[in-house]
Structure 1
């Protein structure tokens, strides 16, 4: 029987130890990707649904690897394309250089050797954003001799989609029946910015709230009168992708125009400031939700939006981003160019949805009105595969004449759902307390995002795909009423659901929320907590419930984005009518949300009781202890590894010495 040599054993042990550390770096040739400029294999970062998209891209009709828009622009007077590529120097075009792999440093260097100037390498796209000399934009250009280059795509410019919604959409029924207002949910607004000091957006309740830590009085001032800090800010974070390309203090949130503030107010405005003629307030759909301002439009170009969307993905967990709404689309040229979901912008928004953020995009306003554009007018990125694309209804719930319609150029049905978007009153960024009316799919999209916030409050574990499934199942099916006006033309070849006008139909907020939360209205739960109550580490939360039966179900508690914890039943008959729970220690202090629910089964739960609270006494040493434990574990692995190597070395040396002795004996 053959014995394994110590060297073989040593190699096997070393391979066992080293392989887990190196396996992630191995890229077999059959993996998704390609060779870079120096012949090294590079994987793709884009989603699999976009594999080989360049082979039949609808914007490269002559298949010369150059975007038809670029070719059209280069045939126009120089002042036309100079204005279009306004961020580039004279004689350069602003483009995506698309690869069959994620471009490496070598690819950047190779492109720049041709005179290009790379301005961004997006994380989730297999592209470089660059200023490329016009003189090398032709089909036989050395640009297309670079390894892995598959397309030269116009970068383009972005534009906004603009042309007593809550009661008409029955949102107020969700408020009154379940008390949901978006509490605990965070909506990121990828737009022109959000004016943070507008009375409808500067906090949660339009009143200064006493009870949190306030600044110390100025000792120099003989009559100190410190400014009271509001404990419940509406805007929780602010990222500027246009000017500073960095995160800025949330308290400095601003709007570079007026569009983003209006959008934010529709989704989550509190209604503070100006009131209507009858004294009612212009309240957003989810006034209890937090907002994140991602300022990405429209002083630059689409690179800013790519950067803002990338920041959302990278900060999804740290900022608690549940939902992203964006009412932006490509600025159109004189000719309409087809959209099949393969543009870099559309691929980037697919990446946002794929990251787990519930993503809503506007369909566009290209169907009818002053200029009749017709069917197949869904703007990019509304043509993206994964996000939920929103069409607009008038207040009488008829389909708005301007709302863009499908198909997409690759034959997919779009939009996905329809909500009111015409004549919506929301905060006016030109004032600190005023409201103004706007229309467009820009307005419909944040309204749908606000409805989604109510759904997430009902079920904090809700995913993007689950929201999409609920929309597909529970929307109110609508049929287009054809009239003599050609503007009401039917864009669906087959009368099926979804269609190219309404998508799956009109949003149904009450049913959406009930489906999301698996709500049984006979069940109820209440926590013994006040809004903005301070919660110390390992506090005991108690409450009551009703509708349960002895020995059936359980009560669950969740803090922020943490896991559900099971409470203890302290009722006399075991029906969870009274319960409590000692919370696990928390690391960070600050604004958070505590949720509770009575669960009888997976499809039978009480409405969630959600309370905004302030966590205090965060145990930062918990993270240090965890880091120490990881460090100790790492050092223990190194010591073990070293010991094995030394032991193997000694055994090998002894084995060789023994064989040498044997050889010496046989020689005699």
Structure 2
């Protein structure tokens, strides 16, 4: 099936003809200012693309740094609810996309822009998880969609999935659900949010009033409408209210004629339009917010993005008349733009300033050398070393696990220009977190604090050495005990042998030299005359 026939896609354009480059979408929402002012690019954060899959061979999505000599895959897990639903650990199936839609969405969120870097995603250093719930024709069953959503929740801690983009709301007939199934999907969408995954869902491409359906109508999700390149609402973008009477969408993002990776071409790009394209763009802003503040809940993310958006007075496109909401003087959510046009810079800055004011005069940088996988490898007795700049009073660190929190590094002393996070400290913390895997790849965050100000968060990938290293304290104790027992046994055996030899020597049975000395030249044994004492005895 060609992309133009997909029910989610409004139209397709050749790359470079009429399509908007991502480098034009990025400034439309202030994403470039976030990169410039904070350095946040999504590093350490993982987002799930719940769609048709992701092409793991596309140059913009195959690794984090576009360096083929390194081993740092961008797509850290893949679940195929369509063709391999029993392979659930996320690593058995190589990421693929037999449709193209999911790959395009993934590139909008986190594509590196390779090879020409004109179409860099909103969070280019973020990791991705592909969740395939739609087949090659763009259709998906109720069971497959539910399985993908449930899998995402179950694996959120394993892969640090903080946000998810799902464009099922843009379908116009490819999925046919009963009313009870629609209720189940909406309920599961809300459960994902309450479990800690910020869920972005496309509003749909029906274009008229009251056309937002399942799952975009779910209460707790962030429903996204689409803007044209001039940031006016796109004529195809579905509008609220929902069947339940909720005002939707929540936000709007550019989604018309967006150039992003074209699946199964190696390095090609294609321009697509639809709320499907707007949704992963908005989700990418949330990824930047999570790098700035991993303590945010999905409701924090939604509230901040809504509060910092640019309010847009709505008018119903087809009727070309004002919305009733605009008759109320106070700005409020409306059924066309939602709360408005996403503004990345104030959203990320508010996220960063949630507990501390962001200070660019404080800085943390990595001193330790990374390996070929762009991770610092650390074994028993090792540490990750960082450099500091600025008037730093405290150093804080945490793992990327959403259940973790920031901790002061007790070993840091004011005036130190470097600090380290040791292997033992890391292992102790990771073991403290429930059901966590210590060995292997992890991400830690560090920051410098001075008064009520803090530096940007530095995310560093690490690789904790094998189980023999992690369990060193236990294994070393066991080895020591074994050696002591072995040596004790050898000592006892040696003592027994020496005792036996001593007895034999005393009895003359093992002294060949003594025997020879007591022989005469003819070989006869000499006899000794008894002494007087012996005779008397």
What interval of TM-score do these two structures reach, taking the shorter chain for normalisation? 0.7 to 0.9
Deviation at 1:342, TM superposition (A): 6.5
Within 5 A, what are the aligned runs for 1:450-529? 450-480=284-314, 486=319, 490=323, 492=325, 495=328, 496-518=331-353, 519-527=357-365, 528-529=367-368
Deviation of 1:615 (Å): 3.2
Query: CA distance change for structure 1 residues 498 and 338 in 2, over 3 Å: closer, same or farther?
Result: farther
Aligned residue among 105, 114, 125 for 1:272: 114
1:598 has 2:448 as partner: yes
Deviation at 1:557, TM superposition (A): 1.5
Change (3 A) 1:620 1:326: farther
Q: After TM superposition, give the deviation of residue 534 of structure 1 in Å.
A: 2.6
Distance apart, 1:541 and its partner CA: 3.3
2: CA distance, partners of 1:535 / 1:333:
50
Q: Which residue of 2 aligns with 1:310?
A: 150
Taking the TM superposition and a 5 Å limit, the aligned residue runs for 1:232-631 are 232-245=72-85, 246-247=87-88, 249=91, 252-273=94-115, 275=116, 280-297=117-134, 298-329=138-169, 331-332=171-172, 343-367=183-207, 374-480=208-314, 486=319, 490=323, 492=325, 495=328, 496-518=331-353, 519-527=357-365, 528-530=367-369, 532-537=374-379, 539-548=382-391, 553-561=393-401, 562-568=404-410, 570=412, 574=414, 578-583=418-423, 584-586=425-427, 588-600=438-450, 604-618=453-467, 622=471
Q: What is the CA–CA distance in structure 2 between the aligned matches of 1:452 and 1:567, rounded to whole Å?
A: 28
Given candidates 158, 167, 178, the residue that maps to 2:27 is 167
- CA distance in structure 2 between the aligned counterparts of 1:341 and 1:524, rounded to whole angstroms: 51
How far apart in 2 are the matches of 1:507 and 1:613?
33
1:210-249 to structure 2, matched below 5 A, reads 230-245=70-85, 246-247=87-88, 249=91
Q: Closer, same or farther in 2 for the Cα pair 1:488/1:617, shift >3 Å? A: farther
Q: Equivalent residue of 1:252, what SS?
A: coil
CA–CA separation in structure 2 for the residues paired with 1:309 and 1:446: 16
The structure-2 alpha-carbon separation of the partners of 1:196 and 1:333, relative to structure 1 and needing over 3 Å to count, comes to: closer
Distance 2:359 2:113 in 1: 29
2:230 partner SS? coil
How far is the alpha carbon of 1:517 from its aligned partner? Answer: 1.4
| 1:498–1:530 CA distance, 2 compared to 1 (3 A) | farther
* SS of corresponding position for 1:237: strand
> Counterpart of 2:68?
208
Say whether the 8 Å CA contact 2:395–2:412 is kept in structure 1. Answer: no
For residues 120-169 of structure 1, the C-alpha deviation after alignment (integer angstroms, 9 at most, x for no partner) is: xxxxxxxxxxxxxxxxxxxxxxxxxxxxxxxxxxxxxx963655211222
Per-residue CA deviations over 1:223-245 (Å, capped at 9, x if unaligned) read: xxxxxxx4200110110101121
Distance change in 2, residues 1:614/1:231 (3 Å) = farther
Change (3 A) 1:453 1:580: same
C-alpha distance in 1 between matches for 2:181 and 2:296: 25
Pick one of 33, 36, 39 that aligns with 1:176: 36
Residues 420 and 624 of structure 1, relative CA distance in 2, 3 Å threshold: farther
TM-score normalised by L of structure 2? 0.73
Alignment of 1:194 with 2:54, yes or no, is yes
1:569–1:428: structure 2 CA closer, same or farther, 3 Å change rule? Answer: same
Specify the SS of the correspondent of 1:598.
Answer: strand
Q: Relative to structure 1, is the Cα distance of residues 338 and 415 closer, same or farther in structure 2, using a 3 angstrom cutoff?
A: farther
Root-mean-square deviation over aligned CA pairs = 3.1
Distance 2:254 2:442 in 1: 31
Greater Rg over alpha carbons, structure: 2
Please, which runs of 5 or more residues in structure 1 have no aligned partner?
1-157, 210-229, 368-373, 626-668
Per the TM alignment, residue 489 of structure 1 is displaced from its structure 2 partner at its CA by: 6.0
Change (3 A) 1:525 1:264: same
Q: Deviations over 1:514-540 (max 9, x none)?
A: 111114234422132455243313533
Q: Distance in 1 between matches of 2:463 and 2:49?
A: 24
Distance 2:361 2:180 in 1: 46
Per-residue deviation, 1:580: 3.5
Structure 2: segments with no counterpart, 5+ residues? 1-5, 12-23, 428-436, 475-537
The 1:542–1:241 alpha-carbon spacing in structure 2 relative to 1, beyond 3 Å, is same
SS at match of 2:27: helix
